[in-house]
Structure 1
């Protein structure tokens, strides 16, 4: 997660090419564009989505997606350019893939649905395998 232009520089210096942030920040976007990075800022409203697109976002991360739900994302998606890549992050689990896919979401961030404090490696591995299987089922192994 990137919050500042200095974070962008540190990510780039470490070899990172993909930048994910919880918000849309012009300084962060400018620095990322300077480095030629792929950007996925967090948005929640149509205003934020269009601002991110105007600033050169490679994709949009709807966050927290669980609050918007697939119907909320669909309503905003309807007014965005058809070529906009859409992600859902925040409260999303593998059980949500098919519903989000139906409204044009093709990128997901899974956090607490994969890892919970104190979880064993085996627990996390099982959840990750289930997520991959759910992805394959929803997206046909794409």
Structure 2
């Protein structure tokens, strides 16, 4: 599934970032996330076996969730992501070649930016979902100011330091969605632990 397909089915715009996840555990964790209502799942490419984990998630959950890859900092990683069945690409930076190649491969793109210059560079490269990263450094007020000058069809996702405690603040600032990593999953967490945290996060969004 693609991001908009998942959102159209009623899922919240929350990306679970499973940095450090092991392939043997990823499907159980993914199942727990989907059961809790989080159906956008990202495996960063600095995890132990990212392509293997993405492929496993896609095979098990691809009809119920959008499976993507993060920390995609080169076109080679974009190609590996597409080859594993990923449907969206997330990066910590703006690289026009990576964005263009990912779009060419049929994936949604969610590149990371911090400044207006970077945001408009991402838009020029074809991105419409933009990841404010790290979102907590300059705060919700900064994100609102950025959003005021971007094209209306752009959607801001706050990633980095966003969770149940400050979610309302970021939503009030106009973020479309969020990405959550360490406060949702840390290496070694069980599927049950992740599921409980995911339910709390979905409840906070609602």
TM-score, scaled to structure 2:
0.62
Partner Cα separation in structure 1 for residue 203 and residue 192 of structure 2: 16
How many residues get paired? 136
What is residue 185 of structure 2 aligned with on the other side?
115
Unaligned runs of 5+ in 1: 137-142
Q: Is the 8 A contact 2:87 2:108 kept in 1?
A: yes
Shift of 1:78: 1.1
TM-score, scaled to structure 1:
0.89
What is residue 104 of structure 1 aligned with on the other side?
174
RMSD: 1.4
What is residue 39 of structure 2 aligned with on the other side?
none
Partner Cα separation in structure 1 for residue 190 and residue 100 of structure 2: 40
Partner Cα separation in structure 2 for residue 117 and residue 38 of structure 1: 26
Q: 1:123 to 1:10 in 2, by over 3 A?
A: same
Decide which of 133, 137, 155 is 1:85's aligned counterpart.
155
1:56 correspondence with 2:133:
no
Matches within 5 A, 1:1-142: 1=70, 2-136=72-206
Cα deviations by residue, 1:8-33 (Å, 9 ceiling, x for unpaired): 11111111111110001011012112
Structure ranking higher on relative contact order (CA contacts 8 Å, 6+ apart): 2
Partner Cα separation in structure 1 for residue 190 and residue 79 of structure 2: 34
Q: 1:117 to 1:19 in 2, by over 3 A?
A: closer
Shift of 1:96: 2.2
Shift of 1:118: 4.7
Partner Cα separation in structure 1 for residue 169 and residue 107 of structure 2: 30
